[in-house]
Structure 1
């Protein structure tokens, strides 16, 4: 016979077992079944004073003290075991049992096989000690077997247990109603996706991640828990569009409706929730699905990913390059062993149609230009890195580009006047996308930063092209004009200094006579000087770029020398005037 435990130790045993279970849950990855169960456990029921009055003794099945009690049932007849559904706390005296050992063993096996939560046997009229067959069956199945050494009123026990069960269920229903009301309100308010995810994370007290079908992170929130983004998003960063492997216990639910699956919600382990963690996620997924149905093209999801990352990058809200690289990789921009570059893209000239169409064409063309080996993240520069030069209603697109090592599209062209391969590819895509009604003068202006292999180089590259704004193109191909930080270092340097009053005063002093002449005579001396400083050693090419005959071009140069009192053959003079022209062009 299994040795019984002393009655006075039962409460301590129960609390100790529950404590060990909770301790394990805090140290190890919890499973979904352990996250929350509104029903009381066997251990909790055994602590009720109505049971304690019977001097209970746990004699078998200690490992099952955390089983959930679905109902309490008084079993008077051994034949009633066949009517059990599972999860019941069985209360009995054994008075209706036959004493045949084989019959007792059959009933014991039938009770355990029914999936009961526990057995409470009152000693006295039926049995003076727990039957051996019942002890063996309960110990083998991990079903707690408790004997009572004093008579108790079973009706009081069942009443108290049922009160606990109903109270727990009412708490669950109330919690679910509260979460449902909150998410319904968010849906009616058309709250953005990232805010819905944030509220879910706050509700669960744990990080929540929303991903698209390609396992790219659309939005995530740490709920103010201080969770390390690099650790939270590491599984998605490793996936890179392939199979996603998550640690055990991370709860996942699909975001789907009308037969379409748009992604999944994942919650990391956290504190139990009265409504059930999976239920909260499912309600959140339903709210997101409703929003996704209203956004047929999925534009909000697509742009939210990029907006979040650009906000993190440009505001410096990351703790290190590793964290930023993880967030970028989790959102579909691989950075390890890749060539990285920041860029801006905008339309110039009259497009002849609504700005939203222009933006859509620019985004689509750039995505196609970098595919399939390259990756790109795009967002609108809402903060306006170049506000004084941005045209109202015409957004500037920010881009983070990632290419594999040796990709020819990112390699510089041999001739500085030739557009880089990426621009050529972009021009071909635009040729297929731009409507035939678009005016011939319209151009897409691409600004490329300096390529690099480290996260800091990518951040610097984007910040550089964003602050420089639109500068004169270094090359042109099709409908694409290109400026490149690598080819125009002086222009970028001057652009960075052009906002200071000293630099603008220098430009006005150096070019004042030409500015006054052009204003008074509607002249073109500034344009001629720009062409000359761009090609000081080839006056024939400079004249061609100024769209003047050589003889007229030479006359203009002579007039410039007279007005400024300089020699345009002098190198220092050429450098001074070139800087002045750049400063004037870049100034406010």
Structure 2
């Protein structure tokens, strides 16, 4: 039954088999009561409960909260209301979607013959409404229906569902019309907002706007700051901790995470609605992802052009120096980043080859790290793939005196960006005044890098160059003078001929009972053939040492006075250490 007010000021009763008044649909439904279900996500245009409670038309009924629900003023989270219905029968539950504000006169509670039956009927009614997950219920029970009021109050007393008693007559039509008007206005506002959001991010995408501008426009739409975390490392210190959860959306590029967009929760002032935050952040994330894809495409084209030029430079009969420099400048390669034409002419070019563990970092990750490091160092480099785990670089320097500092900044930045687990190692050749001659020295830089990489996995050969300060873990890059013989042997350790050479040289002192002979040989070679120093280090007399050396010489079958023999034994001993490790 629905009691509606008409223009004549009288209340008329109209009976329906099952009634839900809804201005959107005039259909009637019937169905069985089902188990509670999760409501659909609330639309952003939904009202909140306290807006309805403060309406003049609703306040005219002298509303009183009779359930155990917390008063609206004491709630930290607003109760959203998606629609308003007038219901007078229990069969209405199946048409409710959750989040509705239900008005009723409670006429079905007038039928029970006893107070106990009235309470049971009231509990049944409220059970059905709770199962439908309505937002709140308001029942008009005038003073002359005191038994109904008591039954309703008793049935509602223990419930968390907001249940209000209206003890004065109200115009349900006035309440529903006002609620519908406000929701319609907000839906129209939402359509306008959605259109504006769509237009803003469509224009930004068509302009291929950079990520900072997209983030700035997202902040303007929300009225608060938006943060772009490129490395997806989480909110920055500028975002408040301990308060409401920070709305954030991941940015995905080609199925891979590329960062996170997050809204800064203001210390004071209104917080943007979470649904609006989600919509803006999702559109912003799409625009940023599209921009990153466009940037990646441009970057790939530039890298391909650089790689092509680099490989042509390694075939110098294809290019003259002037043509090579012109093409390098056209690619933006110069001493000063972004100004190859206006900046100083490079005084020299440094050939560098970077190697890494291909199982831990892809070539794109290494190229991205190199691009980042060059940007941080405010310089450029001509870069191209050398092999599956090798990157060739020609780095311009404005003066030879700056060569070391430029390499430290660029290659040190790459190592930090990739992390220690990438196993990156760089070899540098001598700086050359001409681009073509520098390109010709890339093979030398590649051999240095390969030798240094091999040294890093061969600790038995000792620190690089015999200097602890130059140990592999402490150097940003290597020169030929750093790896020397140890580097050569490390790079040749897979050669069976080298292994056989070492075995043939040392076979007389490699038996299980020859450990003292091997140690004596090592000490002799370490002393550089200085017998006085060797006798002192062994704490033996010189005659005793001479006797031991004579026995060692007979066992080896070579002269320990001959420099070439000592050199062969030194090489064999280094190879032995390498394979022992």
TM-score normalised according to structure 2 size: 0.45
TM-score normalised according to structure 1 size: 0.45
- Which structure carries more relative contact order (alpha carbon 8 Å, separation 6+)? 1
